[in-house]
């Protein structure tokens, strides 16, 4: 038999044809389209799903192929199989209908209003593909206002990975979470579980104390009986003794003999720190170990001594005073902005040795890997100021070629887009950036070659507006800046004559005033500046023509500088940030 000019099949022969993916896809689309058409016409269906006031027609073979719940039901001589229908209880009818529609059409509308019910329905009916879609939708939207709800929902649905991510977000951002309405709806067992965590990211244990007080006061009559149990998880032995006076003046503590006893034991424990044997007598129910939250400094990119942009990256462990190499970026970058958002470090813009780039990549600290899944900026920028505020990443100023920029754009991680914000009042390159109480401060830099700035302006994202605040005492470009304990630091850099600076100054936003601080050990520009554990770290940069790996830290209390372990690589114009980030 001859079938065409190209294929000949003799009698008794057979042929196996492998179809390409496009043909298979068209076949499957047509198959399920026909199934769906039959369902809507009420033809050939052999099963009914009864939920709420809805009765949904379906085909057993389609349900079994898509849902492990129905597959198990139909594989045995179940009552539902014999009856040809199933009654579903305690599940949202619209969510079930959405799941069944997806099974037939591969289309589903997920939004903030229906996501919880659809995830519950998909979990009960064991439709893994919808569960995965829901989890992906939720993961991208976890924030301080919903992480507790996500944790509880994922627990109900036995989604361990999502549960861990939601709880870890809560632990890392506890100070923001306690300000949300959702926190006040927790039951006492969930609250106890959270505040007992070693990795709870709190700057001071009094923040945990205050969180418990706030939770109890939200429904004092019903919750005051839970106070004693919850306060056992507050690590009073790690609180400064001078603070105890304020704690004991709280009315709820005054009324609780057990809480007062905990605080007294903590005071005695701290007073007897030089007498370990006596200390043990005052332990009782005290938890004496500090929280085990380790914030680390990340440093990436920059110029080397060979005037070559680099992609290397490293991380600093303050407990061990050691820098460790991590995987390099996918692209060489100097003059790069670096910031922290959730569980990732974002490297923004920079210069790759040939061009000013608009690309962005992120390092996932959990997966220990760089990802190129971040949208490009609207403009290429090097020597750009980058900060994170309220879940957005801001890229501010910088330069393209010889042109300084005043433009500002911010990254929305949920929608993976950059959007323009109001421009600065002045073009700036090599400027410092810092965040304080919901506003961004842009400090110094240069407007053009030979014109170094001492001006400072503040951006309020709620008003999308820039206003000038008090100028620095010294004009600086290629400086470092950061926020530490409510003050903004501006250190090092160059002045108008291109001379490098070892001086620094600090801005008090409450007084709108700059004050000089002691000078660094070494003059340097093109530095990175971050806060870690109450110290201000100056990282890398350049001294005269030498690129630096050296690190020194300023202690605002002692008003003195100390040397720290140098980096593995010299970095001029490298990016630095701290993870996890603390609220400022």
Q: pLDDT > 90: what percent of the chain?
A: 69
Q: Give which of 437, 482, 466, 432 is closest to 452, Cα–Cα.
A: 432
Q: Is the pLDDT score of 437 beyond 80?
A: yes
Least confident of 63-67, 284-288, 341-345, 385-389: 284-288
Residue with tokens 């992120």: 362
Other Cβ atoms less than 10 A from the Cβ of 357: the count is 22
Q: Give which of 557, 548, 544, 53 is closest to 305, Cα–Cα.
A: 548
3-state secondary structure of 368: coil
Least confident of 5-14, 72-81, 130-139, 261-270: 5-14
* Across 172-199, average pLDDT: 93
Tokens, residue 15: 């042929």
Q: What is the DSSP letter of 525?
A: B
* Across 272-291, average pLDDT: 71
Say yes or no: do domains 21-141 and 186-282 share a fold: no
Q: Is the pLDDT score of 207 beyond 90?
A: no
Least confident of 170-174, 192-196, 249-253, 467-471: 170-174
Rounded CA-CA distance 323/273 in Å is 32
H/E run at residue 209: helix 206-217
User: Which residue has better confidence, 203 or 544?
Assistant: 544
3-state secondary structure of 340: strand
Least confident of 103-112, 263-272, 467-476, 530-539: 263-272
Strands (E), 294-426: 296-300, 313-317, 322-326, 337-341, 344-348, 360-364, 369-371, 385-389, 392-396, 399-400, 403-404, 408-412, 417-421
Tokens, residue 76: 């045995």
Residue 5 vs residues 1, 12, 23: alpha-carbon distances, Å: 11, 19, 22
- b/e map of 67-94 (b: 16 or more CB within 10 Å)? bebbeebbeeeeebbeeeebebeebbbe
Rounded CA-CA distance 258/187 in Å is 21
Q: Is the pLDDT score of 34 beyond 80?
A: no
How much is the pLDDT for 76? 83
How much is the pLDDT for 11? 54
pLDDT band, residue 1 (cuts 50/70/90):
very low
How much is the pLDDT for 206? 87
Q: What is the DSSP letter of 457?
A: E
- b/e map of 289-321 (b: 16 or more CB within 10 Å)? eebebebbbbbbbbbbeeeebbbbbbbbebeee
Tokens, residue 326: 């991590």
CB 523 within 8 A of CB 501: yes
How much is the pLDDT for 81? 87
Sign for the CA dihedral angle at 339, 345, 351, 353 comes to: positive
Please tell me the class of the 21-141 domain: alpha beta
CB 573 within 8 A of CB 302: yes
Q: Is the pLDDT score of 4 beyond 60?
A: no
CB 1 within 8 A of CB 11: yes
Please tell me the class of the 295-580 domain: mainly beta
DSSP string, 119-170: HHHHHHHT-HHHHHHHHHHHHTT--TTTHHHHHHHHHHTT-HHHHHHHHHHH
CB 571 within 8 A of CB 302: yes
H/E run at residue 31: helix 21-41
Rounded CA-CA distance 549/230 in Å is 47
Residue with tokens 């001006």: 455
366 by Cβ neighbours in 10 Å (0-12 / 13-18 / 19+) ranks as exposed
Residue 55 vs residues 76, 97, 363: alpha-carbon distances, Å: 23, 9, 48
Express each pLDDT in 487-520 by its tens digit: 999 999 999 877 899 999 999 999 999 999 999 9
Express each pLDDT in 137-146 by its tens digit: 999 999 999 9
Rounded CA-CA distance 517/426 in Å is 27
pLDDT band, residue 25 (cuts 50/70/90):
low
Tokens, residue 439: 């506003």
How much is the pLDDT for 29? 67
Rounded CA-CA distance 339/509 in Å is 22
CB 245 within 8 A of CB 239: no
264 by Cβ neighbours in 10 Å (0-12 / 13-18 / 19+) ranks as middle
Domain segments of the chain as ranges: 21-141, 186-282, 295-580
Pairing of strands 47-51, 85-88: parallel
Rounded CA-CA distance 494/499 in Å is 5
Express each pLDDT in 347-385 by its tens digit: 999 999 999 999 999 998 877 899 999 999 999 999 999
pLDDT, mean over the chain: 89
Please tell me the class of the 186-282 domain: mainly alpha
User: Which residue has better confidence, 561 or 368?
Assistant: 561
């Amino acid at each position: 038999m001859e079938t065409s000019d190209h294929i000949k099949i003799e009698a008794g022969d057979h042929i196996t044809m492998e179809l390409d993916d496009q043909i298979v896809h068209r076949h499957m689309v047509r198959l399920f389209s026909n199934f769906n058409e039959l369902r809507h016409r009420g033809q050939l269906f052999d099963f009914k799903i009864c939920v709420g006031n809805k009765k949904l027609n379906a085909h057993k073979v389609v349900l079994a192929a898509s849902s492990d719940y129905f597959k198990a039901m139909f594989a045995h001589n179940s009552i539902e199989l014999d009856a040809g229908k199933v009654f579903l209880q305690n599940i949202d009818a619209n969510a079930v209908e959405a799941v069944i529609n997806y099974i037939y059409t591969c289309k589903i509308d997920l939004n903030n209003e229906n996501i919880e019910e659809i995830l519950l329905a998909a979990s009960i009916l064991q439709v893994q593909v919808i569960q995965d879609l829901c989890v992906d939708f939720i993961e991208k939207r976890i924030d301080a206002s919903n992480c507790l709800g996500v944790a509880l929902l994922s627990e109900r649905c036995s989604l361990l990975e999502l549960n861990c991510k939601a709880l870890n977000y809560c632990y890392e951002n506890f100070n923001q979470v306690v300000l949300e309405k959702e926190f006040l709806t927790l039951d006492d067992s969930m609250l106890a579980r959270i505040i007992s965590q070693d990795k709870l990211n709190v700057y001071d244990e009094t923040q945990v104390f205050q969180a418990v007080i706030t939770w109890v006061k939200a429904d004092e009559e019903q919750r005051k009986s839970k106070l004693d149990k919850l306060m056992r998880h507050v690590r009073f032995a790690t609180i400064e003794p001078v603070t105890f006076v304020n704690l004991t003046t709280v009315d709820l503590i005054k009324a609780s003999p057990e809480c007062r006893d905990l605080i007294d034991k903590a005071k005695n424990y701290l007073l007897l720190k030089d007498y370990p044997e006596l200390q043990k007598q005052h332990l009782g129910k005290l938890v004496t170990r500090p929280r085990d939250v380790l914030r680390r400094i990340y440093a990436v990119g920059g110029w080397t001594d060979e005037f070559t942009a680099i992609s290397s990256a490293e991380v600093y462990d303050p407990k061990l005073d050691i820098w460790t190499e991590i995987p390099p970026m996918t692209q060489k970058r100097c003059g790069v902005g670096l910031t922290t958002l959730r569980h990732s470090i974002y490297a923004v813009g920079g210069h790759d040795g040939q061009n000013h780039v608009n690309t962005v990549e992120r390092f996932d600290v959990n997966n220990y890997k760089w990802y190129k899944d971040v949208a490009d900026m609207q403009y290429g920028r090097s020597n750009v100021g980058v900060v994170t505020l309220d879940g957005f990443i801001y890229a501010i100023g910088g330069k393209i070629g010889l042109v300084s920029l005043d433009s500002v754009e911010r990254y929305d991680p949920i929608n993976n887009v950059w959007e323009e914000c109001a421009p600065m009042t002045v073009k700036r390159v090599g400027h410092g950036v810092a965040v304080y109480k919901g506003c961004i401060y842009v400090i110094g830099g240069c407007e053009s070659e030979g014109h170094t700035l001492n001006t400072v302006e503040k951006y309020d994202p709620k008003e999308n507006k820039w206003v000038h605040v008090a100028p620095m005492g010294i004009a600086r470009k290629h400086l470092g800046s950061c926020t530490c304990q409510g003050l903004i630091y501006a250190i090092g850099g160059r002045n108008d004559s291109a001379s490098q600076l070892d001086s620094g100054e600090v801005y008090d936003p409450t007084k709108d005033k700059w004050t000089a601080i002691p000078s660094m050990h070494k003059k340097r520009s093109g530095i990175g500046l971050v806060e870690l554990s109450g110290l201000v770290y100056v990282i890398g940069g350049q001294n005269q023509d030498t690129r630096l790996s050296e690190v020194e830290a300023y202690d605002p209390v002692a008003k003195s500088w100390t040397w720290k372990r140098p980096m593995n690589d010299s970095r001029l114009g490298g990016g630095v940030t701290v993870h996890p980030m603390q609220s400022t």
